[in-house]
Amino acid sequence: MTASPLLTTRLFGPQLDAKGTTFRLWAPAAASVDLVMRDEVQPMRRRNEGWYDLRLPDVGAGARYRFRIDGELDVPDPAAAFQPDDVNGPSEVIDHAFAWTAHEWRGRPWREAAFLELHVGSFTPAGTFRAAIEKLDDVAAAGFTAIELMPVADFPGRRNWGYDGVLLFAPDSAYGRPEDLKALIDAAHQRGLMVFLDVVYNHFGPEGNYLGRYAPQFFTTEVHTPWGAAINYDVPEVRAFAIENALYWIANYRFDGLRLDAVHAIKKRGHPSILSELSRAVGAFADANNRLVHLVLENDDNAAALIDPHAPAAAGKYRAQWNDDYHHAWHVLLTGETRSYYRDYADDPFRHIARTLASGFAYQGESSPHREGAARGEPSAHLPPTAFVSFLQNHDQIGNRARGERIDQLATDERAIEAALAVMLLAPMPPLMFMGEEWGAEEPFPFFCDFAGDLGAAVRKGRQNEYKAGHLGGSITGGMLDPLAEETFRSAVLDWSAREQPRHRRRLDLVTRLFQARREHVVPKLGGALSPGKAHCDGAVLSAHWQLGGGRLALLANLSSAPVRHKAEPEGQPIWGGLAPDDLPPWSVFWSWTEA
């Protein structure tokens, strides 16, 4: 395959060519804009619709620049490709040409997706893109087919979860330069791993965002979000900003897909919806360049109408959604916690687990106790299982706890976690695990950031108040870890040597064998996964089946700590657990395949 073309036709960001660079800024509220390079200040020409531009011959890659607004405020480029000196420093012109080596890579089919979500800064002790390359062989050997990077967009300071990004086109310098990120993606492709990026289009972080000063049209005070005034996607330039950003990562960095964070918080979507327009643009680019690119949503609204793993690009749909319902039901079963949003699953976690396996969402329009009786969700039984990404934990569900405990520190029985993994990793839904989960890592993943002064104090106080109110469903045992302390961040760094300990070695072996069984027995059948499944619980006994390509995949499990008498009819060829006996052992899982 020839190299994918770079994204060169853009409204935002510097345009670099062989003869120089054109600088552009949309600043409709500015009376004047100057380009500042070192000690030189050059006025930019105002065009229609609030655009300013300036063409400089003989200025190329490596040049550093700022925009001066109304002769008084120097700001970075909101579409900067790199910020070598953090969010308030000058922007750097980047040449996106790169010597890719995985020349034949075009992606992998969605049915093969098995994700490892990771935070670049805590994935390795060095916390860089280059250091992550050293662990890719281990990731592939465990059985994952994709890594999903938490947001890397430039954030204030040296450490951050990633959801405080303010310069959405610039990978944060704490992790390395743009070419380092490209090297990571190229190395992943060499190993057959897809690479996804978590992107945030529902808000900007609280420090380093100057858009409100010179382009207040970016926001609307008519609608508010947890982060303040909503981004206004009614405005054409704002829509273009988000769509260009999505295309920028896929074209210039060769990401295989994006995960759109919390789209339920995008309150001013415009017409047509920014979500459908962005999906169509990405799909059209992928089709034109013979690439497989996948878009995934996080959406607390459970809007089934947005997702369809088989839809063409023109439909403006998304491959799948992260299924929080799946996680929440399992979390209640494994830990017994019923605070906050876990209230919605406390009545019968077995029933909710069965429903997520059979038809996607647990809440498909039913009244939510946590939402004071409001209806939540849309019917999803018409969607295939590949439309729902399943997980037992992720960055949110660990980090939105006062001390960042993982499921292994919360569950009462290790056998229960192993059973849950055996269900999740062999079910037809694409599975996702959080970094280190494959060996049962014990490091917490608490919320952390590097804000200073009043902002830092406000963030600390805000998190304390949320935990006291039980708002995040997190434990306050032992008190909250200080989100601003460097040791809080350091506590999250994975200890890769722990994999050699017997307990962790056993867990990694289990996960590896489950992935192997998935690869051999389940993935080849998922091309025919066009209909939902059927599932129910008889007490603690879970049974489910799906009609897939050429046959029937069946599950039988005892999700309890006691043996259960259950008549297990022989069904097809066992693919995990052997033949199910009439007396199901505690936390036992059996999978089988029956040819049509």
Q: Where are the domains of the chain?
A: 15-92, 533-595
Judged against a pLDDT cut of 90, whether residue 475 lies above it is answered with: no
Calculate what percentage of the chain has a pLDDT beyond 70: 97
What pLDDT, in 10s, does the model give residues 550-576?
A: 899 999 999 999 999 988 776 789 999
Structure tokens at 591: 């999978």
CB 145 within 8 A of CB 193: yes
Closest alpha carbon to 439 in 505, 493, 516: 505
Closest alpha carbon to 82 in 95, 100, 67, 73: 95
Structure tokens at 363: 């809440």
**b/e map 179-191, b = 16+ CB within 10 Å:** bbbbbbbbbbbeb
Judged against a pLDDT cut of 90, whether residue 69 lies above it is answered with: yes
3-class state of residue 301 by DSSP: coil
Which residues are paired to 470 by β-bridges? none
Enumerate residues 6+ apart whose C-beta is below 8 A from 538: 566
Judged against a pLDDT cut of 70, whether residue 187 lies above it is answered with: yes
C-beta neighbour count of 221 within 10 angstroms: 10
Judged against a pLDDT cut of 70, whether residue 8 lies above it is answered with: no
Give the burial class of 528: count Cβ atoms within 10 A of its Cβ; 0-12 exposed, 13-18 middle, 19 or more buried: middle
**Mean pLDDT score, 229-251:** 97
Separation between Cα atoms, residue 539 and residue 523, nearest integer Å: 30
Which residues are paired to 115 by β-bridges? 146, 432
Separation between Cα atoms, residue 317 and residue 308, nearest integer Å: 6
Angle between helices 349-359 and 324-335 (to 10 degrees): 150
Closest alpha carbon to 447 in 483, 495, 393: 483
Q: Which of the following is catalytic: 77, 86, 154, 261?
A: 261
Enumerate residues 6+ apart whose C-beta is below 8 A from 99: none
**Mean pLDDT score, 347-375:** 96
pLDDT of residue 476: 46
Judged against a pLDDT cut of 60, whether residue 306 lies above it is answered with: yes
Judged against a pLDDT cut of 50, whether residue 228 lies above it is answered with: yes
Structure tokens at 392: 């037992």
Angle between helices 414-426 and 324-335 (to 10 degrees): 160
3-class state of residue 229 by DSSP: strand
Structure tokens at 476: 């306050």
Structure tokens at 157: 């300071």
3-class state of residue 80 by DSSP: coil
Enter the pTM of the model: 0.96
pLDDT of residue 549: 83
Q: Which of the following is catalytic: 298, 418, 437, 450?
A: 298
CB 395 within 8 A of CB 328: no
C-beta neighbour count of 561 within 10 angstroms: 12
- Domain 15-92: homologous superfamily in CATH: Immunoglobulins (2.60.40.10)
Separation between Cα atoms, residue 261 and residue 231, nearest integer Å: 14
Judged against a pLDDT cut of 90, whether residue 7 lies above it is answered with: no
Closest alpha carbon to 553 in 568, 531, 537, 533: 533
Q: Do domains 15-92 and 533-595 have the same CATH topology?
A: yes
pLDDT of residue 478: 60
DSSP secondary structure string, 532-567?
--EEEEETTEEEEEEEETTEEEEEEEE-SSS-EE--
Query: Of all helices (H) and strands (E), which one includes residue 194?
Result: strand 194-199
DSSP secondary structure string, 305-322?
GGB-TT--GGG--BSEEE
pLDDT of residue 4: 57
First to last CA, the chain: 37
Separation between Cα atoms, residue 559 and residue 585, nearest integer Å: 9
Separation between Cα atoms, residue 584 and residue 541, nearest integer Å: 9
**Mean pLDDT score, 46-57:** 96
> Looking at the domain 533-595, which fold is it?
Immunoglobulin-like (2.60.40)
The confidence band for 483, taking pLDDT boundaries of 50, 70 and 90, is very high
CB 65 within 8 A of CB 54: no
3-class state of residue 345 by DSSP: helix
Query: Phi, psi (5° rounding) for residue 345?
Result: -120, 0
C-beta neighbour count of 192 within 10 angstroms: 15
Say whether 298 is catalytic.
yes
**b/e map 535-556, b = 16+ CB within 10 Å:** bebeebbbbbbbbbeebbbbbb
Say whether 261 is catalytic.
yes
pLDDT of residue 473: 47
Q: What's the DSSP call for residue 54?
A: E
Average pLDDT over the chain reads 94
Distances in Å between the alpha carbon of 367 and those of 169, 301, 304, 362, 373? 40, 12, 17, 11, 5
Give the burial class of 287: count Cβ atoms within 10 A of its Cβ; 0-12 exposed, 13-18 middle, 19 or more buried: middle
**Mean pLDDT score, 112-139:** 98
3-class state of residue 41 by DSSP: strand
pLDDT of residue 1: 37
List the alpha helices (DSSP H) in 336-370: 349-359
Angle between helices 414-426 and 502-517 (to 10 degrees): 20
Closest alpha carbon to 554 in 515, 510, 521: 521
Q: What's the DSSP call for residue 430?
A: P
Give the burial class of 53: count Cβ atoms within 10 A of its Cβ; 0-12 exposed, 13-18 middle, 19 or more buried: middle
Separation between Cα atoms, residue 387 and residue 319, nearest integer Å: 6
The confidence band for 364, taking pLDDT boundaries of 50, 70 and 90, is very high
Structure tokens at 379: 């019917």
pLDDT of residue 470: 61
